[in-house]
Amino acid sequence: MENNTNAQRLPPLNALRVFEVVARHLNFRLAAEELGVTHGAVAQQIRGLEDNLQIQLFNRLPRGLALTEPGRTYAGPIRQAMALISDATRAIQPEKTIVSISLTPSFASKWFMPRLSAFTTEHPDLEVKLNASEDLSNFQSDGIDLSVRQGTPPFGNSVDAELLYSIEYIVVCSPALMTAENPPSSIAELKNHVLLHDAHNLWPLFFLEAPELSTATLPKSLKFNQTSLAMDAAIAGQGIALVSSVLAKRDIRAGRLCQPFEAHLKGDQGYYIVTPKSPRNPKATSRMKTWLQTQN
C-alpha cells in the first residue's frame, strides 16, 4: 500500500520528459521543436509540473529561461532517469536487421528513393543501408547484400542476376517546352532545341534510327555524367533528354516531364538484381528482392 501511495505522488511522466528537454535548451521554442509540439503545449506542461510540485523550476526572463536552485537540483536526476528509461526500452526491443543495397546513383535517386518510405512501412524490422555507386559490388569486402545494376549478364561466377526491367529509352522534356515557340513535337524539330546527354551518350544511336535529322545538323548539347542530372535539367526546361522510361515514369506521372513524341530507342541492356550466391542475410536479402520485383 505504501508503494502505491508513493507511485501516485510521482509527477506525470510526460511532464518530466518536457522538463528535461526545456532544462537542456532553456527555451520553450527550441524544446517545442525537439518534442514536435507547440510552444504553448510546452509552457502548459511546465506550469502543470510546477503546480504539481508546488515549486518554481524556472525563472522567466526577457530573453529565455533560467533554472531556479530547486530546478537545477531536480534537472540532473531527471535527466539520468530519462536516460535509464530510454536504455531499458532499447534493451528489450529486438534489433533491426540491416539490409545493405547498392544502386547506381540515377536509379537510387529517381526510382528507389521515392519508394523507400513504402518499403520501411511494409518492413519496419529491416533497416536499409544504401550505397550509390556505378561499380559492381564486391559483396564479401563491401558488405553489400544486394545490388541493382544496368548492363548485360553475366556479372560474375559468384553472383546470381535476375532481370528487373528491360530498358527502353524515350525522349522527355518539360511540359513548358510544348507551349513555347517551336515545340519539339517531332524528331525533325529537335534541331531547334538543346540535347541533354548523359554518360550513356545515346543520342547518336537514336539518330541512326531516325533519318529525319541528319547527324551533320545535330543541335547543340549539354553533357552530364549522371542520367538523373540530365533529367533534372530537362525538368528545369534546359533541353531534351533521352532516358530510360523506368527512371522517367514517376516524373511523367507527376507532370514534371512529358514525351513530346512517341519515338523510342530499344536498349540491349536491362536493370538486373544482382545477389551473391551465398548471401550473408538470406532472409532479409530475399525480402528486399521480392519487394523490388513487386514495384511498378
Q: What is the CATH number of the domain that holds 118?
A: 3.40.190.10
Cell numbers that stand for 37 in this block: 509540439
Kindly give the pairing relationship between strand 97-103 and strand 126-132: parallel
- Does 231 share its domain with 254? yes
Task: Choose the final residue of a domain: 42, 57, 92.
Answer: 92
Total domains in the chain come to 3
Alpha-carbon gap, residue 231 to 238, rounded angstroms: 10
Would the pTM of this model clear 0.85, i.e. be above it?
A: no
Residue 105 shares a structural domain with residue 239: no
Summarised one tens digit per residue, pLDDT across range 85-121 is 988 987 787 677 899 999 999 999 999 999 999 999 9
Residue 211 reports pLDDT greater than 80: no
Tens-place pLDDT, residues 136-166: 777 877 889 999 999 998 888 889 999 999 9
At 73-88, the pLDDT tens digits run 999 999 999 999 988 9
**DSSP-assigned letters across all residues of the chain:** -HHHHHHHTSPPHHHHHHHHHHHHHS-HHHHHHHHTS-HHHHHHHHHHHHHHHTS--EEEETTEEEE-HHHHHHHHHHHHHHHHHHHHHHHHSPPPEEEEEEE-HHHIIIIIHHHHHHHHHH-TTEEEEEEE-SSPP-HHHH--SEEEEEE-S---TTEEEEEEEEEEEEEEB-GGGGGSSS---SGGGGGGSPEEE-TT--HHHHHHT-TTS-GGGPPPEEE-SSHHHHHHHHHTTS-EEEEEHHHHHHHHHTTS-B-SS--EEEEEEEEEEEEESS-SSHHHHHHHHHHHHH--
Query: Which pLDDT score, from 0 to 100, does residue 2 have?
Result: 47
Angle (CA) 118 121 123, round 5°: 105
| Range in 161-165, 194-198, 213-217, 291-295 the model is least confident about | 213-217
Asked which of 46, 67, 92 is the last residue of a domain, the reply is: 92
Asked if residue 138 and residue 183 are part of one domain, the reply reads no
- If asked whether residues 145 and 276 sit together in one domain, one would say yes
Higher-confidence residue of 265 and 7: namely: 265
Residue ranges making up the domain that contains 233: 167-267
Output the pLDDT for position 213: 61
Return d(Cα 84, Cα 78) in angstroms, integer: 10
Q: Alpha-carbon distance 292 to 153, whole Å?
A: 19
Give yes or no: residues 158 and 275 share one domain.
Answer: yes
Whether the predicted pLDDT of 209 surpasses 50: yes
Cα separation of 182 and 54, whole Å?
Answer: 76
Q: What nine digits make up the cell of 153?
A: 549478364
Cis amide linkage into residue 154, ω under 30° from 0: yes
Average pLDDT over the chain, rounded to whole? 90
CATH value at residue 27 = 1.10.10.10
Do 237 and 172 lie in one domain? The reply is yes
